[in-house]
Chains A and B, each alone.
Chain A
Amino acid sequence: MNALELIQHTFQLTRATGRAALMPYFTIGYPDLPTSFEIVGKLAESGADLIELGIPFSDPLADGPTIQHSTQTALKNGVTLQTCLRFVQDLRQGGLTTPIFLMGYYNPIFNYGEERFVQAASESGVQGLIIPDLPPEEADELRQHCRKHHLALVHLIAPTTPVTRIQRIAALSQGFLYVVSVTGVTGARKSLPPHLFEFLHEVRQLTNIPLAVGFGVSTPEQAASLGQVVDGVIVGSALIEVVRQAEQPVQAAGTYLSQLRAALEDRVRE
């Protein structure tokens, strides 16, 4: 199975069991490199269907304080793009089979060389890329490289995206469509934005590509209710917050993820 097929297969499997896929985000190198490695392994064990790994960047302008803190820490720990590629390689060598997406800002990737990066990512065992500051308009070249090396380039839509644009982006996005839940930056929020479900239903009508919703999802209840209408639920800042406050971060991450997974399974769709 190539990367795209593996992602497709994963969404098909979760769909078949009537629940949404659970997709945690975690920053490579937070709180330190070995711990983050253990945490990612734990996430896979505890019910992650797909995993998003954050590449740290000095100026993460789509991120709120929590992820900013984690990526700044990772940078202080000396994490580079090369480290991130090796990180995935090591995960694969350790036997991890969960589909992996790298999420990072464009400049480090551009600086590394787009094709060189895509090829290296593919060889390391990455299935897809999510680049929050690269709208489809600027992604033509990267898309070509991704096609060539069988990597999914995932695009994002936001509550401000007009209908015709949603259709256009959905047609270009590969693997799934990343639905940003809020008009805002990443970060756990007490409640989901008021018109989110209307928006998700609207998007559902516009495309058949799997939808995964992220930004601002934190509690098992939120994940469960979102899981009713979309194919995947992404949890990032809340997970990092759990790790940040825990005395035993690996265990805490696992426990938190199991709770999310249980909530998704309890609310199996009719």
Chain B
Amino acid sequence: MIDRTKFGTFGGQYVPEVLMPALNELEEAYRQAMEDVDFQKEFDDLLRTYVGRPTPLSYAKRLSHSLGGAKIYLKREDLAHSGAHKINNALGQALLAKRMGKTRVIAETGAGQHGVATATAAALLGLECVIYMGEVDMERQKPNVLRMELLGAKVQPVSSGSKTLKDAINEAIRDWVTHVRHTHYLLGSALGPYPYPQIVRDFQSVIGREARQQILEREGKLPSAVIACVGGGSNAIGIFSAFLSDQTVRLIGVEAGGNGIESGYHAARFADPRKGRLGVLHGTMTYVLQDEDGQIAETHSISAGLDYPAVGPQHAYLRSIARAEYTFATDAEALQAFQVLAKSEGILAALESAHAIAEALKQAPSYPTDQVILVNLSGRGDKDLDTVMQVLSQTAVISKDGKKPDERS
């Protein structure tokens, strides 16, 4: 029997009983909304007239020429209102929340992009909004904290555990458990218990549908590869989803390599066989970074949005059937890609998205010049300027080997 809550053996609903009825209610509300023409129309209208969709597809001409290989195209989710792809899902779920009669939305945020998107959607639709954010992340993504507050949301600092995204999700779930009757948990990535991974993917699938059509119009053919960064994996699954049945298109997800896999300071669930194993975190069965005893490992990434120990279950599934491949970029590689993109194309990418750019820099030279690589530029980098400035001032120059001076012997 096929389990509707799973992708193969990944996914499911590993949650406290108090939440099971809420998940069933959400599943039913979502099913009805998908069949409701008015809901679809309202959502599509908002994406067009409020978010500014379709987002452009930019040809990165100077970058492509300098690499001397494939033509690199960027799907510009950084130009969506509020600065990242997160708004697509936030609006969809906020509409669902209203439909279910919930008056309050809560959300977790790492980089702050999902928090800003949720605060934005809540302001637009008149919902009370509380955002849980780890104290470490509040420090490194200050501008987004201010943004959320200006949008009328309450930002609740989380001081437990590693004080990052994982702990923000713990606290958001605890809030949800307590206020489930009138609160919708607006989960921001393609993870968590069913039906979240499916709902988030569907609301983000607009990225892939637009990009596929745009690239066909521009180039008259499909890309050879589609590259996206993977924290929980919502922007990646959003763009991959349109290409799943195009078997010639390589789908490449890029995890956060942090200080390098050997260092142990990373968030690459698939790349570290010592720590990355099948497990359960936040309601879903997937690859989880954990220690020998099954305790969840602390993670590290320069980008708060990728700094998370579990990966969305559909990514684990796509990897298990070899439909998608997963690699990683280190902090140093992402920083270098950030600078390269800024200088060659005039775009400040989010550090999350810079991981995808880093992989494009590696892949492009091995393709002929008539081939196309599509990169999901999932968000803009304004929020990261503090982090980038800090690192650059410490290291002055990022060397050609991509390592900071303190990493060299």
Instruction: Give chain A's interface residues, CB within 8 Å of chain B.
Output: 57-59, 61-62, 64, 68, 75, 80-82, 106-112, 132-135, 137-138, 155-162, 165, 169, 180, 183-185
Contact = CB atoms under 8 A, between A and B. Distances in A.
Interface size class of chain B, counting residues whose CB lies under 8 Å from the partner chain: 35 or more
A58 B161 contact: yes
Given A109-B294, A135-B20, A160-B19, 12 more contacts: A61-B177, A82-B293, A108-B295, A112-B294, A158-B16, A160-B20, A160-B180, A161-B21, A169-B17, A180-B16, A183-B177, A183-B179
Contacts of A135: 13-17, 20
A111 B276 CA distance: 11
Nearest to A139: B14
B106 to A, nearest CB: 14
B14 A68 contact: no
Interface in B233-283: 277-283
B117 to A, nearest CB: 23
A112 B21 CA distance: 30
A179 B288 CA distance: 30
Contacts of B15: 133, 135
B142 interface: no
Contact of A138 (B13, B18, B277, B288): B13
A114 to B, nearest CB: 12
B301 interface: no
B342 to A, nearest CB: 37
B17 A138 contact: no
A185 B22 CA distance: 16
13 contacts: A59-B161, A59-B166, A81-B293, A82-B293, A111-B290, A111-B293, A133-B280, A137-B5, A138-B13, A162-B21, A180-B18, A183-B177, A185-B177
B178 interface: yes
A109 B285 CA distance: 13
A238 B183 CA distance: 28
Sort A-B residue pairs by CB-CB distance and give the 8 closest, nearest first.
A111-B294, A108-B294, A158-B18, A184-B178, A58-B295, A80-B293, A62-B16, A58-B296
A268 B225 CA distance: 73
A156 B12 CA distance: 18
Instruction: Determine chain B's interface SS by DSSP, over half rule.
Output: mixed
B99 interface: no
A80 B180 CA distance: 32
A132 B18 CA distance: 10
B181 interface: yes
Contacts of B14: 106, 133-135, 138
Contacts of B18: 158-161, 180, 183-184
A156 B177 CA distance: 14
A132 B19 CA distance: 11
B174 interface: yes
A182 B223 CA distance: 53
A188 to B, nearest CB: 15
Nearest to A108: B294
A160 B22 contact: yes
A64 to B, nearest CB: 7
A176 B262 CA distance: 47
A159 B18 CA distance: 7
Contact of A75 (B5, B22, B177, B295): B295
Nearest to B20: A135
Contact of A157 (B17, B278, B281, B288): B17
Nearest to B296: A58
B314 to A, nearest CB: 18
A212 B12 CA distance: 27
Contacts of B296: 58-59, 107
Given A59-B296, A138-B12, A165 B21 contact: yes
Contacts of A185: 174, 177-178
Interface string B137-167: 0000000000000000000000011000011
A186 to B, nearest CB: 10
Contacts of B13: 135, 137-138
